[in-house]
Amino acid sequence: MVEKDPRREELRRRGKAITDLLLDDPDQPSYTAYEKITLNLGIARTNFEIIRDGDMILVQDIDGAVDMRLHNLRADTIDISRIRNFIYTPYERFFITNTSQPGREAVLLIGKTNKFMPGLGLSHLYHDARDAVLFTDESLNIGDIITHYNIETTGFNTLMILASSTAQTTWYPQFSHDETNWYDYCDSAGTPIQYAVTNAKKAIAINDAQAKWFRVVVYANAAAVVNGDLSVQA
């Protein structure tokens, strides 16, 4: 007989009790429309950005190792598998890092008093546009190929890539419906679209984007330092 992990069972019991409390107790802050986020830990993430306007995070259930940073990448790392209570602090974004742990998951409850938190991704309360960092001073040697963490763009039709490079690089936007199978962004003839960025700043617009997940692949035609940001709008 397989013994139950007491830590996980306690998290599950506490998470259910607190969920019930948030929904049913009129004397508690009004988190009646909190959001539940389930992270499949079989997918490795490095500083995966989730943009939210909230003031509460609860680890409802977890059976793997996950690190979190609040606010920005300079913040201290929080091992959320060890959290035993609410995280109470205002935030607009947080970052998730985990190795691939097939069959494991983490369930987070996030909320903000009297406000509804929409679906996972770049959507943001009371805003129709957000930004995300793609690359920050990434040094590449000739022939290097890099990409960033995947970004969910559900509900955003216009994407603007703000790219800069100190030497010639080629940028390839890609889309996916499952974070596993990636497809090149193509023109009407089916030819993959690529953007050359050479010792300059370039704004690259993609209109009528419909896929769920987005990323950019960068190829270094020469040794270069690249920076990139993503601006999205509904």
In three-state secondary structure terms, 193 is: coil
Mean pLDDT in each 10-residue stretch from start to end of the chain (234 residues)? 52 50 44 71 89 80 90 84 74 88 88 46 36 81 84 78 92 87 88 89 82 87 90 73
pLDDT score recorded for residue 97: 93
The three-class DSSP label of residue 9 is helix
pLDDT given at position 6 = 57
Task: Render pLDDT for 15-28 as a digit per residue (tens, 0 to 9).
Answer: 554 444 444 444 44
- Model confidence pLDDT, tens digit, residues 148-184: 767 777 777 788 898 999 999 999 999 988 878 889 9
pTM exceeds cut of 0.75: no
Q: How far apart are CA 3 and CA 16, in angstroms?
A: 21
Chain mean pLDDT for the chain: 76
Q: How many residues does the chain have?
A: 234
Q: Which of 120, 157, 140, 144 is nearest to 45 (CA)?
A: 120
| Non-local CB neighbours of 114 within 8 Å, separated by 6+ positions | 29, 30
Whole-number pLDDT of residue 128 = 37
Which pLDDT score, from 0 to 100, does residue 226 have? 92
Q: According to the model, what pLDDT value does residue 113 have?
A: 58
> Counting beta carbons within 10 angstroms of the beta carbon of residue 65, is it exposed (0 to 12), middle (13 to 18) or buried (19 or more)?
middle
Query: Can you name the residues that pair with 40 across neighbouring β-strands?
Result: 105
What was the pLDDT predicted at 196?
93
Strands 182-184 and 169-176: antiparallel
**Domains of the chain, earliest start first:** 6-111 (2.60.120), 129-233 (2.60.120.380)
